[in-house]
Amino acid sequence: MSTARRTAVVAVLPALVLAALATGCGLVAQPDSTAWDDHAEQAVSDATSEVATARLALETARRERAWSSYTVVLVAQAEESLGTVQDDLSRLQVPPGRDDEAARLDALLDEAATAVEDARSSAVEGRYDDRRVLDALDRVTGRLEDAAGG
């Protein structure tokens, strides 16, 4: 590589690094309040869907309308997807003044994750009608629906 070409590459690299940093390709994004609200709403919607999937899978297996292995896979995928929802939201920096709201949302998503994790454990054991697990799924579904509405 010629000296002139090396100089051009060295001169361009800092500009590319600055452009990449300016476009927000870091691990933590800093959205404005409206963008954070949009992400939070999507997280609640996605979590509601994953909890409903786990609940429906258990109910279907209880009625002997699904194979046990299929039920376990469905609930495990719901658990994994819920973890992704939590991870995606945790990568966003909370806007100033929204710490309490973010903490409540984190706690709600943790509750949903725990309920789905318990549902997976129950499905693995073939216990599709465990009232404690079903009640927890129903309870967190109600809380997620409340969060979506207000």
Q: Which domain holds residue 36?
A: 27-149
Would you state the structure tokens that stand for residue 13, as one six-digit string?
Answer: 């690299």
CATH number, domain of 141, equals 1.20.120
Residue 93: C-alpha distances to residues 38, 49, 104, 143 (Å) = 13, 24, 15, 24
Confidence of residue 3 (pLDDT cuts 50, 70, 90): low
**Could you tell me if residue 86 is inside a domain?**
yes
CA angle 80, 131, 73 (to 5 degrees): 25
Q: List pLDDT tens digits, range 62-111.
A: 999 888 999 999 999 999 999 999 999 999 999 999 999 999 999 999 99
Q: In this structure, what token pair is assigned to residue 104?
A: 């409540």
Whether the model clears a pTM of 0.85, i.e. scores above it, the answer is no
For position 33, what pLDDT does the model report?
A: 87
Q: Is residue 15 a part of any domain in this protein?
A: no
Confirm if 23 and 48 have CB atoms less than 8 A apart: no
Q: Is 112 within the bounds of a domain?
A: yes
Q: Per the domain annotation, does 12 fall within a domain? A: no
Residue 17 lies in a domain: no
Q: Is 16 part of a structural domain of the chain?
A: no
* Percentage of residues of the chain with pLDDT beyond 90: 72
> Among 20, 81, 26, which Cα is nearest to 53's?
81
* Single-letter code of the amino acid located at 93: Q
Overall domain count for the chain? 1
Task: Give the confidence band of 23 by pLDDT, cuts at 50, 70, 90.
Answer: very low
Residue 99 lies in a domain: yes
Residue 9 covered by a domain: no
In angstroms, the CA 73 to CA 108 distance is 24
Collect all residues with Cβ–Cβ distance below 8 Å to 84 and sequence separation of at least 6.
none
